[in-house]
Structure 1
């Protein structure tokens, strides 16, 4: 199995380390030729506007759209979840390039600034009974999902923080920053 980590900006090393712990050697994806080598791709957390602009600059948007969910499973964490969304509900983004792959609307920085970052244990039944550590750093929130999207985890207030549409997975938190590799394992099984 070949797994790529989009290596344009963000938590590249953290996702790579999690994959290595699971015995998977990641491919750093920077160009379409790298993308052609992988069956799965993680779009890491980082700055979504920057990642979106770099996706456009390096001609990765169309190759991603053409393969997404078919012969390419994709997981977006935090900024990656924003990039996967069909709609970004934030007037400050002003034309931010997004992939528009998952039928969901996302709000950037939904919980406030960096100072408002938090940790919250999460129930994610597809991973078993034990709570999952949720690390939220300037996190987005999934505001709405379409009929083909399944909510996988929510905060106690009902806010959706993980969703899946076929072979597309989005988490608004950072599993790569914890020692818990269950979400990575789940993604590898898609």
Structure 2
């Protein structure tokens, strides 16, 4: 596939930044707000934002079940920060009525690193992403507390009080990071995901 079309779930969060990073990575990027728009993409990015709000809006816009079905059918999806939460099969410290897309067999803890004032940046080595450690930006970020047998841990925090915490994972065509690569200008994570989309096609 020479130029796949990748959607960015455009309900809430940093949609524009992901779309720009995808366009710079050589794909056609489109916002996805309706089921018919979801039908037109080869892969999907779930951006950072507020996961409880995203969960509600996915139901309001009729996207929750169609996204779950596309995931079950093998569509590649990448979630960053809130997107990681939305892809998890289990969420700790979320709202009781919060529901995600049940994609990656993992348990994540919402706002695990603390509040907005506790946001930080740290180097993260990511398996499969060549080059130096990724300069990762964490904003009210989750971390992964448990992964299932089919989930590959791609990256951990390697410094400070959160040393060793899992912050990047992959299961099949599904990729998730606790940090925001779209805010850094470093396109390596987006290019990695583009390669996943091309391979799936």
Normalised TM-score (structure 2)? 0.91
Structure 1 gap ranges (5+): none
Per-residue Cα deviation, 1:69-113 (whole angstroms, up to 9, x for no partner): 6341000000000000000011x5121121111100000110111
Structure 2 gap ranges (5+): 197-201
Per-residue Cα deviation, 1:149-175 (whole angstroms, up to 9, x for no partner): 000000122100000000000100000
SS at match of 1:125: coil
Per-residue Cα deviation, 1:24-79 (whole angstroms, up to 9, x for no partner): 22111000000000010000000000111011111111111111163410000000
Larger displacement relative to structure 2 (75-84 or 59-68) = 59-68
Q: Which runs of 4+ in 1 moved over 3 A?
A: none
**Structure 2: how far apart are the matches of 1:12 and 1:39?**
17
For residue 167 of structure 1, the aligned residue among 169, 173, 184 is 173
**Structure 2: how far apart are the matches of 1:51 and 1:108?**
14
Verify: 1:87 aligned to 2:125, yes or no. no
- Identify the residue that residue 70 of structure 2 maps to in structure 1: 67
Aligned pair count?
A: 189
Q: Is the 8 A contact 2:25 2:194 kept in 1?
A: no
For residue 107 of structure 1, the aligned residue among 82, 87, 109 is 109
For residue 128 of structure 2, the aligned residue among 123, 126, 129 is 126
- Identify the residue that residue 77 of structure 1 maps to in structure 2: 80
RMSD: 1.1
Normalised TM-score (structure 1)? 0.96
- Identify the residue that residue 47 of structure 2 maps to in structure 1: 44
**Structure 2: how far apart are the matches of 1:16 and 1:27?**
7
Question: 1:11 Cα deviation (Å)?
Answer: 0.6
Verify: 1:177 aligned to 2:180, yes or no. no
